[in-house]
């Protein structure tokens, strides 16, 4: 009875997949996104590390199984009945791993520099949907796999080594490059159909090109210093440390602007201090130097002018992020921003605000929150 029920469920699922074969890969890709959104929290949690490592391992194994399926390798084995689901599993793991990066990048106050990663994810969806052979295109398979592998190692290696710098990034890139080339050459040697469909030299050249492009992006500071992320950024009137908590006083936003509690306009009187409060997520025991770059927009030249760099150190491990602040006096009204940067000048986020000179008799509506 149980066996009959299992066969029925399997055939029903198979029928559903066949009826919706056009959209199934996209749905499984999005399914991987949703799964990680609901389950992942901190990159240094044992659960998160386990899930991501299992995703990466499962993706590698599934790619191997899928590429050898065309050679009849799994004929007359228990894997034969699951061969048609292998592309969907690949989509699921692609989606799950990609979403891990979105989760941490989305913590930033400004997505101006992390938007490229969202664009890449969208391009993965478009490429997968409109390429003639979709995921069966082996150039697409291994190209996307290498990108996913690279980003996976740039998250994981800093967490395990508790250090983040250019050398660690280069080590992460080298680890992903070696692991991808080993998997590629192993599959290539075992699969005659793969040897017919791709040229090994061309595939390696594509992977090396992706490797080079990511490194160029890194040294142009277009890639955020993952797994560090800016969690909060607030322009404040006053900050006081009491009993291990920061009491931050800021101008509260109107109630209809529900997505933000603090105003981006600052009501200023001469000689007043203007504070910038930031909390930064970093994995446990990872230490890093951070600084605030205060910049003012010059209305005459239409350019941003750096006023001052003020730094401090962080040590990761706190759920609410490592907290710190800087302040300035003798500022001028106008458009301002504070870039939150690492010592390598990689951007964590931008806190933008406008300074308005307060008129006599006016008083801003202030609110104090503990962080």
The verdict on 42 and 60 lying in the same domain is yes
**When comparing pLDDT for 173 and 109, which is higher?**
173
Q: What is the pLDDT of residue 43?
A: 67
The verdict on 272 and 139 lying in the same domain is no
β-sheet with 303-315: strand ranges across: 265-268, 347-357, 334-342, 287-298, 303-315
The verdict on 236 and 357 lying in the same domain is yes
Average pLDDT for 159-165: 84
Task: Answer for the pair 234, 326: CB distance below 8 angstroms, yes or no.
Answer: no
| Residue 1 clears pLDDT 90, i.e. is over it | no
Task: Answer for the pair 308, 328: CB distance below 8 angstroms, yes or no.
Answer: yes
β-sheet with 229-236: strand ranges across: 229-236, 274-281, 322-328
Q: How far is CA 347 from CA 157, 226, 342, in A?
A: 20, 10, 7
Angular region, 362: left φ>0, alpha ψ -120 to 50, beta rest: beta
H or E stretch including 268? strand 265-268
The verdict on 240 and 365 lying in the same domain is yes
How many independent structural domains does the chain possess?
Answer: 2
| Residue 5 clears pLDDT 50, i.e. is over it | no
Q: How much is the pTM?
A: 0.72
Q: Is 336 within the bounds of a domain?
A: yes
Q: Is 224 within the bounds of a domain?
A: no
Q: pLDDT-derived band of residue 60, with 50, 70 and 90 as boundaries?
A: very high
Q: Where are the alpha helices (DSSP H) in the chain?
A: 2-19, 24-39, 46-69, 86-105, 115-130, 138-161, 166-190, 192-197, 200-219
Q: What is the pLDDT of residue 144?
A: 87
Helix/strand/coil for 361:
coil
Q: Is 81 within the bounds of a domain?
A: yes
The verdict on 210 and 330 lying in the same domain is no
Q: Is 272 within the bounds of a domain?
A: yes
Q: What is the pLDDT of residue 286?
A: 75
The verdict on 144 and 41 lying in the same domain is yes
The verdict on 44 and 79 lying in the same domain is yes
Q: What is the pLDDT of residue 178?
A: 96
Q: Is 239 within the bounds of a domain?
A: yes
Q: Is 27 within the bounds of a domain?
A: yes
Spatial CA neighbour of 350 closest among 29, 115, 90, 27: 115
Q: How many residues does the chain have?
A: 371
Tokens of 353: 């605000």
Which of 189, 219, 249 finishes a domain?
219
Q: What is the pLDDT of residue 109?
A: 42
Which of 219, 252, 279 finishes a domain?
219
The DSSP secondary-structure symbol of 349 reads: E
The verdict on 178 and 97 lying in the same domain is yes
| Residue 153 clears pLDDT 90, i.e. is over it | yes
Spatial CA neighbour of 331 closest among 358, 350, 364: 358
The verdict on 140 and 263 lying in the same domain is no
CA atoms 320, 326, 330, 331: torsion sign: negative
Average pLDDT for 32-51: 71
**When comparing pLDDT for 76 and 184, which is higher?**
184
Phi, psi (degrees; rounded to nearest 5) at 93: -70, -35
Q: Is 38 within the bounds of a domain?
A: yes
Average pLDDT for 22-38: 62
In tens, the pLDDT along 194-249 reads 999 889 999 999 999 999 998 998 888 777 777 777 878 899 999 998 888 889 99
Average pLDDT for 46-59: 87
- The CATH number that applies at residue 350 is 2.60.40.1930
Task: Answer for the pair 142, 180: CB distance below 8 angstroms, yes or no.
Answer: yes
Which of 186, 219, 252 finishes a domain?
219
Task: Tell how strand 265-268 and strand 303-315 pair up.
Answer: unpaired
Helix/strand/coil for 139:
helix
Angular region, 19: left φ>0, alpha ψ -120 to 50, beta rest: alpha
H or E stretch including 118? helix 115-130
Residue 195 CA to residue 193 CA, distance in Å, equals: 5
Task: Answer for the pair 290, 321: CB distance below 8 angstroms, yes or no.
Answer: no
The verdict on 122 and 242 lying in the same domain is no
Mean residue pLDDT across the chain: 80
| Residue 356 clears pLDDT 60, i.e. is over it | yes
| Residue 51 clears pLDDT 80, i.e. is over it | yes
In tens, the pLDDT along 127-142 reads 555 544 566 778 888 9
Tokens of 38: 């609901």
Q: Is 119 within the bounds of a domain?
A: yes
Tokens of 313: 């150190």
Spatial CA neighbour of 286 closest among 98, 159, 175, 157: 159
Q: What burial class does residue 27 get, using C-beta atoms within 10 Å of its C-beta: 0-12 exposed, 13-18 middle, 19+ buried? A: middle
Percent of the chain residues past pLDDT 90, beyond the cut: 29
Tokens of 236: 């404040």
The verdict on 58 and 178 lying in the same domain is yes
Q: Give 274-324 as a 3 state SS string.
A: EEEEEEEECCCCCEEEEEEEEEEEECCCCEEEEEEEEEEEEECCCCCCEEE
The verdict on 139 and 271 lying in the same domain is no
Task: Answer for the pair 191, 70: CB distance below 8 angstroms, yes or no.
Answer: yes
- Residue-range definition of the domain harbouring residue 20: 2-219
Residue 61 CA to residue 276 CA, distance in Å, equals: 47
Residue 69 CA to residue 297 CA, distance in Å, equals: 59
Residue 202 CA to residue 296 CA, distance in Å, equals: 48
């Amino acid at each position: 009875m149980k066996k009959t029920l299992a066969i029925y469920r399997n055939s029903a699922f198979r029928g559903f997949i066949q009826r919706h074969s056009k959209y199934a890969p996209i749905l499984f890709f999005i399914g991987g996104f949703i799964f990680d959104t609901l389950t992942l929290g901190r990159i240094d949690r044992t659960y998160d590390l386990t899930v991501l490592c299992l995703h990466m391992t499962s993706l590698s194994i599934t790619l191997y199984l899928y590429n050898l399926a065309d050679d009849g390798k799994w004929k007359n084995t228990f894997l034969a009945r699951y061969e048609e689901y292998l592309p969907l599993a690949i989509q699921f793991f692609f989606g799950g791993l990609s979403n891990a990066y979105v989760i941490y990048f989305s913590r930033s106050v400004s997505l101006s520099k992390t938007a490229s990663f969202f664009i890449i994810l969208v391009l993965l969806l478009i490429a997968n949907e409109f390429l003639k052979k979709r995921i069966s295109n082996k150039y697409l398979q291994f190209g996307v796999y290498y990108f996913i592998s690279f980003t996976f190692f740039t998250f994981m290696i800093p967490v395990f080594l508790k250090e983040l710098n250019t050398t660690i990034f280069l080590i992460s890139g080298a680890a992903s490059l070696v692991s991808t080339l080993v998997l590629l050459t192993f599959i290539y040697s075992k699969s005659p159909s793969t040897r017919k469909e791709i040229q090994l030299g061309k595939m390696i050249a594509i992977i090396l090109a992706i490797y080079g492009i990511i490194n160029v992006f890194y040294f142009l500071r277009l890639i955020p210093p993952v797994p560090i992320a800016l969690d909060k950024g607030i322009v404040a009137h006053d900050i006081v440390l009491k009993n291990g908590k920061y009491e931050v006083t800021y101008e509260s936003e109107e109630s209809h602007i529900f997505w933000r509690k603090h105003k981006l306009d600052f009501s200023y009187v001469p000689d007043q201090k203007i504070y910038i409060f930031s909390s930064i997520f970093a994995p446990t025991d990872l230490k890093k130097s951070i600084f605030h770059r205060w910049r003012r927009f010059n209305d005459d030249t239409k350019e941003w002018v750096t006023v001052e760099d003020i730094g401090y150190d962080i040590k990761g491990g706190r759920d609410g992020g490592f907290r710190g602040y800087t302040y300035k006096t003798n500022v001028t009204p106008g458009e301002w921003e504070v870039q939150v940067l690492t010592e390598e000048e990689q951007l964590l986020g931008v806190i933008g605000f406008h300074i308005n000179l307060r008129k006599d008799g006016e008083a801003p509506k202030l609110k104090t929150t503990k962080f």
